[in-house]
Amino acid sequence: MNIDIQNTVNNWKLFTLTNQQNMSVSLLNYGGIITAINVPDRHNNIENVVLGFKNHADYTQNLNFLGAIIGRVAGRIQAATFAIEDQSYRLEANEEAHHLHGGAGGLHQVIWTAAPFQTEDTVGVALSHTSVDGEGGYPGTVEITVTYTLTNNNELIVDYVATSDKNTALTLTNHSYFNLSGNIGRTIHDHHVTIASDEFIELDNELIPTGNKLEVTHTPFDFRTGQLIADGIDSTFSQNIIASHGYDHYFILNPQQQEAIYVKDEVSGRVMTIKTNQPGVVMYTANNLTEGLELTEGTSKRYDGICFETQASPASLHHEGFPTVRLDAHIPYDKQTVFSFGVLLD
């Protein structure tokens, strides 16, 4: 196990965590951004499986949120407003009339206080930040710690812990774009995804939840036994078309399912399993990824990556019956998502 720490642009620090299987995870204290995850394929070729900028300075204009910690509220908040106990709060409208991913000054733009650590079989970095009362329009001073831990079992464990001194809204996630082909060898069309979910949230033309839950049965959103991402990209189903021909939807996870998400790429043989105690996940297939960005392995294009944003649902701020983003004062927020990497057996 090893931690390498380098100074990079703007006096940021780049931490590279390496385990005994030669898997490595690189992350910045700026935005808690994961810049690279290097894992072996079936032939033990170690390649990067997330999208990252070639030049770290480009993360200051990270409009696609590559690899970043997202908050205070991940996702879209309708009309950039919400209310708690009849007290209304106005947020920044940074996507048309709506609030997206904590606003332009959200947690993806923060320089976090970083504390690296190492044990016999883990290595990691704990990132901490205080978001003050009124920041971004949100109520409450919130103490946040996000911990990235790499194990010798090729697991990346992400722990989110927070407390607020006022009732507020909070749901944190990581916005990494995964591509298991390695070094963006191919788009994600042939990624085969399984999600333990019976329902997803319907979106309107502005990608705002309508308040309706839809059953996945007989739709391109039925990933319970697995399907190719291409099936949704090529679909004429209205919800895929609304999302610019792909997915940008919240799936409500079945609580009894421990391994909520399973992703495999047959060509490379790489597989990724996601476990979480979050109630759902937004799967985003980079339908609107900015093209022509200078990434580590070339220029970006649509469908270069797939995000699994484990979180509660911002729809709960305007509709009943959705996994809530409300966090009451002095009640601990404690969430975990585990990304495990392996290979298919031939």
Cis peptide before 72 (omega within 30 of 0): yes
CA nearest neighbour of 213 among 167, 249, 261: 249
Concatenated DSSP letters of 153-202: TSEEEEEEEEEESS-EE-B-EE---B-TTSTT-S-GGG-EEEE-EEEEEE
Q: Which residues participate in catalysis according to the annotation? A: 175, 309
Pairwise CA distance, residues 204 & 275, whole Å: 29
Mean pLDDT of the chain: 97
Neighbouring C-alpha atoms within 13 Å toward the C-beta of 7? 2
Pairwise CA distance, residues 208 & 200, whole Å: 13
Q: What is the pLDDT of residue 257?
A: 74
Q: What is the pLDDT of residue 212?
A: 97
| Residue spans of the chain under pLDDT 50 | none
Q: What is the pLDDT of residue 227?
A: 97
Q: What is the pLDDT of residue 255?
A: 87
Q: Specify which residues 157 forms β-bridges with.
A: 149, 338
Q: What is the pLDDT of residue 228?
A: 98
User: Encoding tokens for residue 217?
Assistant: 């049965």
What are the two backbone dihedrals, phi and then psi, of residue 210, each rounded to the nearest 5 degrees? -80, -15
**How many other β-carbons are positioned within 10 Å of the β-carbon of residue 88?**
8
User: Encoding tokens for residue 309?
Assistant: 């944003």
Q: What are the structural domains, with CATH classification, of the chain?
A: 2-343 (2.70.98.10)
Q: How far apart are the first and last CA of the chain?
A: 29
pLDDT tens, position by position, 84-143? 998 999 999 999 999 999 999 999 999 999 999 999 999 999 999 999 999 999 999 999
pTM above 0.85, yes or no: yes
